[in-house]
Structure 1
Amino acid sequence: MSGPRPAARLNQFFRMSRLLAGQLDFLSAIRSVADEIADVVAHDHLDVCIIRPDGKVHTAYETGIDTAWGSQPNCPVAFSPIRALLMGEVDHMISADATSDPQFHFAGAFVKPIHDHQLRSRIHLPMVVHGEVIGALSFSLHEAGQYGAADIRNGGYVAELLSPYFFALRAAEQARQSAIVEAAARAREEGLRQGALRLTEALETERQRLGMDLHDQTLADLTRLARRLERLSRTQAADPSELAAACEALQASMAALRSIIDEAKPTVLHLFGFAQAVENHLERAIRDSGQAIEADLVVDGASAIDAMPASVSVALLRIVQEAVNNAVSHAAAGRLEVRLGMVGGQVVITVTDDGRGLTQVHRPGGAGIDNMRTRARLIGARLSLGSGREGKGTVMRVALPLAEMHPNVRNAS
């Protein structure tokens, strides 16, 4: 086929270069210059197939006619009709009628589009960068016997022009894929790290909670029993019934320990409510102490506590338990009062005793008060400890505002 003069051909190549500039993917790149290429080498179908960096598969990007070559990415090079060119075995391929040309037909060759679209006249030229075949530029016409030596030469110029740009696109795509793989790996690693961090935090929180529960309830129970047994051991004529009661209390304390470990929640609280749980603990603490302590429980608003999330009601119960344990075990109190009520939109709980007072009862470094303060902070409550009337005894007060609580809690007030 004849063509324009060299100056005009050079201008065509310049226009192709300008059209390629800014194209960021293979398909838009080949389609942007298809019309200009048609003035150099006539075609009904034009495609560029790019070999992936692994050298095993290729993908075709086509214009003019959409065929199965373009719809099936990552086809094996070994089954390409032009595998001899892609593998560097020949420097070009030309056919007067590809539908019957044996060079395209071998076992497994993907030649269906040739027959489906009657792509008879064909030229295939290598795209080479740094001595490496990165793909092929292919021209096809429906009419047979249309291509000659001039078309091979002119098509070679086009292939040389396109090759560096498509090589850059392939490198950019490979970099994007590598970045995606790396980002996915980092995301998985970060997900595992965050998961491990959350698990560690949850385990640490549970460990601290169990430690506080054991201190607030079971350890206090065992301490009282140990002192009671110590008193009985100093009595020459120990009452068998008292020893039996102490043993029974010890068994109950051990059962409570198992309950904390197995369920980590106070069963009475969830079955019968907050007030009943406080009363149950108050009675047990006084009974196990073996002391004559008068105790009162005044309830005015426990329903609001029962409507709270379990984590909040458990924390409040543990605070009350610790305050009761301190009064019974350390304060030498003769009277103890626990009051549950609502004051100004707050749940307020006070534990008051007439014992020795803070300065004598709470030793420096004791974990009980720290546990109470920690529990209060975790649920947004305010906790205060002070002396009773006329400086006698101890008053523990915990106040929890309902403004930020669940609507069911506010309604229960």
Structure 2
Amino acid sequence: MVDRAPIRPQDMLNHVLAISRAIAGQTEFQPVIQAVSREVAQILPHDHLDVCILVVDQDTVAAFETGLHTRWSAWHEHPVAARFSPIRSVLWGEVPYIVTEDALTDERFQFEGAFNHPIFDARLRSRLHVPLRVQGAIFGALSASTHAAGVYTHADVEAARHVADLLAPYFHALRIGEQVRRSAIIEAEARAREEGLRESAQKLTEALERERQRIGMDLHDETLAELTRLTRRIERLAERGTVPSAAVSALAGDLQASIRGLRRIIDDARPNVLQLFGFVDGIENLLERSVRDSGLAISTRVVDSTGGRIDRLGEPLKVALFRIVQEAVNNAVRHGRPEGIVVYLTRVGERIRIAVEDDGIGLGTAPGAAAGRRIGGINNMRTRARLVSADFRLEAGPSGGTRVVVELPATPVAAEA
């Protein structure tokens, strides 16, 4: 051991106060350890000083160093598993401290997988390690090392503990702040990825909507026109009596049924009323067609207290909201057995709320196959709402049926962002 004069209590106090002043105002680990290195050297001589911090999950460690630059500095950006740290016994609380005269030959620093390369690369022989504690829990360690062997004494252990106790609250606060910062970065990156995916999906949805409308127009202009001409030719054949009237009538009936089905597909694919007359008229037309095609006696109503606010939203957003209402109405008509369906369009503060209410059997009573189809429709609505940054919820209606609610900002720019 190297003989050194003991530090007088007054000198120790002065150095401790100097350390306190050095760390004041520092907000990151590396500047703190650099700021205190000179004053710590007056208490604890070293060629290398570092702090090893357990990341909040307690499974990995990050290191911050001053003096010599070693491979431990990589732990700051890329924490490694604590089990590979040469001082894991201190970090895990298995020993109260570690003092070694020569770490190059000390078996405590040599175990399978140990990240002890900096010890040998920098020839750090004398080493001293004490834990950093807050409220009795260990969250890291303070380490001092020198090139010379046999430097540290048990008196140095007490001095190191004083320094560690002084630095621990500060380092603990920085540790929590660093974790919050990392979490915020991870969350921001996740939000950015989700936003990018949503924008891509929104563009894809808009492209599909345009293609859907194009197909609807092509069906109307070509396929429907051809079927109509074919129907007229069959009718003329029946008038001439060249084929049995019963066969012609059956064939004409089948064609008329196909034409009606095709018109429904075209109307669904190309919401003309929505585009020509606005959202309310589009929903009223949707309700009328859905009830008429079902053959059921269902009363329908649209209640709009927004002052036409939805029509001032962008066209892609309007169409997306229309499709959600369309799915909700179709679900109610096909599976809900309602006597009435009401669509409410309201302003709630700076938001628009669309609610589709029916007084049918509710969600929990549909048979297996119907329930599966209804769940598929619900997932479609939820996905469409998410793509336009709208809130979606499904709940029991006030009359015992089902209530589908969509909410989004009333401002066009905010709603389309």
Q: Which has the larger radius of gyration?
A: 1
Question: How far off its partner does 1:161 sit?
Answer: 1.3
In structure 2, C-alpha distance between the alignment counterparts of 1:236 and 1:118, rounded to whole Å: 111
Task: Give the SS at the match of 1:97.
Answer: coil
**Matched residue, 2:110:** 105
Q: Which amino acid aligns with 2:9?
A: P
Counterpart pick for 1:52 among 47, 50, 55: 55
Structure 2 match to 1:67: 70
Q: Does 1:81 align with 2:83?
A: no
CA 1:226–1:12 in 2, change beyond 3 Å: closer, same or farther?
A: same
- 1:197, distance to aligned residue in structure 2 (A): 3.1
Residue aligning to 2:126: 121
Q: Which amino acid aligns with 1:53?
A: V
C-alpha change, 1:211 and 1:103, in structure 2 (3 Å) is: closer
Q: Residue 65 of structure 1: CA displacement?
A: 0.8
Tell me if structure 2 keeps the 8 A contact 1:16–1:33: yes
**Which residues in structure 2 correspond to 1:296-307 (within 5 Å)?**
none
Per the alignment, do residues 228 and 32 of structure 1 end up closer, same or farther by CA in structure 2, a change over 3 Å counting? same
Per the alignment, residue 185 of structure 1 pairs with: 190
The equivalences for 1:140-289 within 5 A come to 140-235=145-240
Report the secondary structure of 1:33's partner residue: helix
Deviation of 1:229 after TM superposition, in Å, equals: 4.0
SS in 1 for 2:111: coil
- 1:236 offset after TM fit, Å? 5.1
| TM-fit CA distance, 1:151 | 1.5
Match for 1:233: what amino acid?
A
Match of 2:23? 20
Match of 1:400? none
Report what 2:411 is aligned to. Answer: none
Structure 2 distance, partners of 1:191, 1:57, is 31
Stretches of structure 2 lacking an aligned partner (at least 5 in a row): 244-254, 256-261, 267-417
Deviation at 1:71, TM superposition (A): 3.0
Deviation at 1:124, TM superposition (A): 0.8
| Structure 1 length-normalised TM | 0.53
Separation in 2 of the partners of 1:196 and 1:206?
15
Q: How big is the shift at 1:90?
A: 1.3
Alpha-carbon separation, structure 1, partners of 2:66 and 2:33? 7
| Residues 98-156 of structure 1, C-alpha deviations (whole Å, 9 max, x = no match) | 22223323333333322322222221111111211111111112222222232211111
1:165 to partner: Cα distance: 1.4
How far is the alpha carbon of 1:64 from its aligned partner?
1.0
Preserved CA contact (<8 Å) 1:44 1:142: yes
Moved more, 224-233 or 14-23: 224-233
SS in structure 2 of the partner of residue 91 of structure 1: coil
Contact 1:27 1:62 in 2 (8 A): yes
Q: Percent identity?
A: 53
Structure 1 residue 172, shift from structure 2 partner = 1.4
Matches within 5 A, 1:372-387: none
Question: 2: CA distance between counterparts of 1:76 and 1:232?
Answer: 86
Shift of 1:202: 2.5
8 A contact 1:3–1:40 mirrored in 2? no
Could you tell me which of 3, 6, 28 is aligned with 2:9?
A: 6
Q: How far is the alpha carbon of 1:225 from its aligned partner?
A: 4.0
Once the 2 structures are TM-superposed, how far is the Cα of residue 232 of structure 1 from its aligned partner?
A: 4.3
Whether the 8 Å contact between 1:126 and 1:135 is mirrored in structure 2 is yes
Distance 1:71 1:183, change over 3 A: closer
Cα deviation 1:360-389 (Å, max 9, x = unaligned): xxxxxxxxxxxxxxxxxxxxxxxxxxxxxx
> Aligned partners of 2:238, 2:136: CA distance in 1, in Å?
99
TM (norm. structure 2) is: 0.52
Structure 1 portions without partners, runs of 5+: 239-249, 251-256, 262-413
Give the aligned partner of residue 298 of structure 1.
none
Number of residue pairs aligned between Structure 1 and Structure 2: 243
Partner SS for 1:59: strand
- Give the letter for the 1:93 counterpart: I
Distance in 2 separating the partners of 1:106 and 1:158: 29
The 5 Å alignment of 1:255-404 reads none
> Which residue of 2 is the match for residue 366 of structure 1?
none
- For 2:37 and 2:167, how far apart are their aligned partners in 1? 12
Counterpart amino acid of 1:164? P
Q: Deviations over 1:145-203 (max 9, x none)?
A: 22223221111111111111111121112112222232333333334433443333322
Root-mean-square deviation (CA, aligned residues, Å) is: 2.9
Deviates more, 1:30-39 or 1:172-181: 172-181
The change in CA–CA distance for 1:82 and 1:236 in structure 2 (over 3 A counts) is closer
C-alpha separation in 2, matches of 1:185 and 1:118: 43
Give the letter for the 1:105 counterpart.
Q
Residues 1:96 and 2:101 aligned together: yes
Please give the secondary structure, in 2, of the residue aligned with 1:10.
Answer: helix
Q: Deviations over 1:275-294 (max 9, x none)?
A: xxxxxxxxxxxxxxxxxxxx
Aligned counterparts of 2:82 and 2:145: Cα–Cα separation in 1: 20
Task: Please name the residue that 1:40 is paired with.
Answer: 43
> For the residues of structure 2 that align with 1:25 and 1:32, how far apart are their CA atoms?
11
Q: 1:204-227 CA deviation, whole Å, 9 max, x = no partner?
A: 222222112222233234333433
**Distance (whole Å) between structure 1 residues aligned to residue 98 and residue 202 of structure 2:** 61
CA distance in 2, matches of 1:174, 1:38: 29
Q: Residues of 1 paired with 2:242 and 2:54: CA distance? A: 100
